[in-house]
Amino acid sequence: MIDVQPAERETPRHADLVDERIVLTYFLIALFYLSLSMVAGLLMALQLIRHNPLDGIELLSPGRWRMVHTNVIAYGFLANAFLGALHWSVPRLMLRPVLDWRLSWFILIAWQVVVLGTGVGIVLGPTLQANVSALESLPFALGAQGLEWGETPVWIDPLALAGLLLVAVNFMAPITKSRGPMYVTAWYFMAAFVWTFLTYAMGNFLPQYSLTGTSAGAVGGLFIHDLVGLFVTPLGWGLMYYFVPVMLKKPMWSHGLSLVGFWGLAFFYPLNGIHHFLYTPIPMFLQYGAIVSTIAVEMVVTTVIVNFFATIWGSSRALITNLPIRWFYTGMVFYGITCFQCALQTTLTFQALIHFSDWVVGHAHLVMFGVFSMWLLGIMTYLFPRIWRTEWWSRELCEWHYWLSAVGLFAMALDLTLAGVFQGYYWASLQPWEVSVEGSQPFWVVRVFAGLAMMAGQVCFFVNLYMTWRLSREAGVSRVVPEPQPQAHLATHGTN
Amino acid sequence: MFESKSGVLLVAGLGFFAFAFLSNALVPALMYRDLPEQTTTQLVEKNSNLMYQFENLSHRYPEQFAKHVGEPTQENCAEILELGRRVYTGEGCWHCHSQFVRPVSREEDRWGPVAKTEEYQNELQRPVMFGTRRVGPDLSREGGRRANDWHAVHFFQPTMVSHESPMPSYPWLFEGSPDKPNKRGIALITYVQWLGSWLESYPYYEVFEPTPLPGNKTNEETSESEEQAEDAEVATAE
């Protein structure tokens, strides 16, 4: 551990900054939801290849579980894992604890009510409402809301929004108390707290209660995109700007590029949303605007990736020896692929062919799993041994976890991307619809196996996790991982 | 500004978000402010295509219809349509079926007129159901294309009418068999028949021409054979 700048005051003890139990709890809950989401995905994948053994059971309907799949990965896995990682990184970066521990635990419980409510609402809501006469006449649906990535039933939306506000308050306390220019991570986090709240409010309330038709579609597009771009992306990059320098024990290569990356993303990302609904009745000039901004984002992203790869230059052996670093950089490679793909697919030429197809589904998996889940799993690989003061039980299982996840995901993304091209041409050639479904079958079969590989990777992780935990409970085990000490303003400024 | 709290929170956090919202959401809202949002009741009024299908449901499933809906009136139709939209949303139909026809990829030839803004300015498009994925076909021109009993059987067990379909079955919209749709079943069929029923050229490519079957028939049988003929025509059209 190095200090680039002398600490402005005596470095506080780790135990006074971080409540490790809350980090641990968030991570374990997140992993539970990851498994749930994967099982839901498997159900839908089996349905598509017409081998769903549970077809015809109302509460296991693939239509409902498809929404569970996406919502649980966004709000159950990513949000919980982010909150855990924030509880570790924000106090250690700011050298101040969060506003209040009791608030932290309250948020933890409240957020699980939100996620469970979402899952239960989507799965049970329509059934309850149809069979309980008292619920039938309710003016709103107990089940899913008709907004992609925002299927959170309408009755949970206010609670979720309140939760997001509390999260912002709790983490903004240590950030606002610190003085002077902020480190990159803090920019991303601060912006994310504002954006997530605004995005959630905009997407879940406006199309439901005030706007209709095409303009509601425009807001829906903004919501889909902002959820990834303004909630997941800034938190993810903020964590990367924190963990990569910490683990490589050197500052970011260029502070200037960090600035370009943040401000470019902040300006262009919110303008992208409508590219999800190209060729709809949304005014064409707005569609053009979204396309141009999307391509601008990809250029900005390139600067961020260049900055990170320049940072690891000279230490690239860490990619082999340091597992979390390998997770992070693999995620960044996938991020580069995703963004390159995005710059192409957002053009009207590509859209005509691949919109509505599995290309988009492959793209979504590449982003949500290939980038952000990979980063969070890397962070977990780094933090579990530190929290338990015990090295991983099996390095080999860690490797299996990595390789099965990475290869499985990449196979799935390639497979679905290719499937999308086929589907696009089937449709454009005006062959009967069934031909496109039949033609997709081989790709869908491959997708099942790719998904199973990813699931197997997580099983390796869970076994390893359980054995490591048992090891940590055994008396007399040498504490091979030292007590972590926070770094005072590590990497505030780069060398360039 | 670039590294300060106020810069990040106010300029990037609030400012850029507000700029994007104003330019991307408020602009279309202002552009279409003169297109009033139609209520479900207004949608049903004067929509004879939809009322035809709704009445047809009451003839085809008289017991079920009387039990769950009552009379095929416009008020009941509006209520059932809203329930239908709720079922469509809750079951996640919109994740595999889009509701807009694009001016590219020969979609006009496959489905019919390209989607227009006016079609979405109504209560049943709240939130709008454009959709982003097509495992199955687009449904915005589906109304009137197939008969009610085709839909009933299809929802009950898709492979019975579309052999290789990967669509899940929805037996909980029925009371045991495809000729007994429950309230949700009737609602979903009505909703699907509503999609596109507002178009002048409805159904888009199939002109309804009853071909009488041989033999003497009573009035009731005639209407039944018309439906069968319609089904047969649909089958050949595909």
Give the start-to-end residue ranges of the domains of chain B.
1-31, 38-205
Res. A487: pLDDT tops 80: no
Token look-up 């099996």 returns: A394
Chain A residue numbers with beta carbons less than 8 Å from the beta carbon of B122 are: 212-213
Which residues, other chains included, contact A73 with Cβ-Cβ below 8 Å and sequence gap of 6+?
Answer: A33, A34, A37, A368, A369, A373
Res. B211: pLDDT tops 90: no
Task: Say whether A208 and B126 touch across the interface (CB within 8 A).
Answer: yes
* A190: Cα within 13 Å, side-chain hemisphere: 29
Give me the sign of the Cα torsion angle B21, B25, B28, B30.
negative
Which residues, other chains included, contact B59 with Cβ-Cβ below 8 Å and sequence gap of 6+?
Answer: B223
How confident is the model at residue A352, as a pLDDT?
A: 96
Smallest CA–CA distance, residue B86 to chain A, in Å, is 7
Task: Say whether B21 and A202 touch across the interface (CB within 8 A).
Answer: yes
Smallest CA–CA distance, residue A324 to chain B, in Å, is 28
B42 touches chain A (CB under 8 A): no
**Residue A63: alpha-carbon gap to chain centroid:** 22
How confident is the model at residue B97, as a pLDDT?
A: 97
Chain A residue numbers with beta carbons less than 8 Å from the beta carbon of B105 are: 352-353, 424, 427-428
How confident is the model at residue A10, as a pLDDT?
A: 73
Q: From the candidates A142, A154, A215, which should be mutated to test the interface with B, based on the most B CB atoms within 10 A?
A: A215
Mean pLDDT, chain B, rounded, equals: 87
SS3 state at B179 = coil
**Residue B117: alpha-carbon gap to chain centroid:** 16
Which pLDDT band holds residue B212 (cuts at 50, 70, 90)? low
Which pLDDT band holds residue A476 (cuts at 50, 70, 90)? low
CATH architecture of B38-205: Orthogonal Bundle (1.10)
Percent of chain A with pLDDT over 70: 94
pLDDT tens digits along A351-380: 999 999 999 999 999 999 999 999 999 999
Which pLDDT band holds residue A432 (cuts at 50, 70, 90)? very high
Which pLDDT band holds residue B201 (cuts at 50, 70, 90)? confident
Which pLDDT band holds residue A491 (cuts at 50, 70, 90)? very low
Give the start-to-end residue ranges of the domains of chain A.
14-473
B24 touches chain A (CB under 8 A): yes
A225 touches chain B (CB under 8 A): no
How confident is the model at residue A60, as a pLDDT?
A: 97
Q: From the candidates B105, B111, B116, B186, which should be mutated to test the interface with A, based on the most A CB atoms within 10 A?
A: B105
Chain B residue numbers with beta carbons less than 8 Å from the beta carbon of A143 are: 86, 89-90
Which residues, other chains included, contact B33 with Cβ-Cβ below 8 Å and sequence gap of 6+?
Answer: none
Asked whether the beta carbons of A331 and A376 are under 8 A apart, the reply is no
| Separation of alpha carbons A117 and B115, rounded Å | 35
A310 touches chain B (CB under 8 A): no
Chain A residue numbers with beta carbons less than 8 Å from the beta carbon of B95 are: 63, 66-67, 148
How confident is the model at residue B46, as a pLDDT?
A: 84
Which residues, other chains included, contact B235 with Cβ-Cβ below 8 Å and sequence gap of 6+?
Answer: none
Exposure string over A192-205, b if 16+ CB within 10 A, otherwise e:
bbbbbbbbbbbbbb
Q: What is the 3-state secondary structure (H, E, C) of A191-227?
A: HHHHHHHHHHHHHHHHHHHHCCHHHHHHHHHHHHHHH
Question: Rounded to 5 degrees, what are φ and ψ at A226?
Answer: -65, -30
How confident is the model at residue A413, as a pLDDT?
A: 97
SS3 state at B181 = strand
Mean pLDDT, chain A, rounded, equals: 93
> CATH fold of A14-473, please?
Cytochrome C Oxidase; Chain A (1.20.210)
Asked whether the beta carbons of A283 and B26 are under 8 A apart, the reply is no
What is the pTM (predicted TM-score) of this model? 0.91
Smallest CA–CA distance, residue B122 to chain A, in Å, is 7
Q: What is the 3-state secondary structure (H, E, C) of A1-24?
A: CCCCCCCCCCCCCHHHHCCHHHHH
Res. A38: pLDDT tops 70: yes
Chain A 433-452, residues with CB within 8 Å of chain B CB atoms: 433-434, 437-438, 444
Question: Rounded to 5 degrees, what are φ and ψ at B86?
Answer: -65, -40
Q: Which residue in chain B is spatially nearest to A68 when comparing CA positions? A: B92
Res. B236: pLDDT tops 50: no
Task: Say whether B127 and A213 touch across the interface (CB within 8 A).
Answer: no
Task: Say whether B28 and A47 touch across the interface (CB within 8 A).
Answer: no
Q: How many residues can be counted in chain B?
A: 238
Percent of chain B with pLDDT over 70: 85
Asked whether the beta carbons of A56 and A205 are under 8 A apart, the reply is no
ipTM of predicted assembly, 2 dp:
0.92
| Separation of alpha carbons A285 and A305, rounded Å | 31
pLDDT tens digits along A313-334: 999 999 999 999 999 999 999 9
Helix ranges, A318-474 (H): 318-321, 323-345, 348-354, 358-365, 374-388, 395-428, 433-473
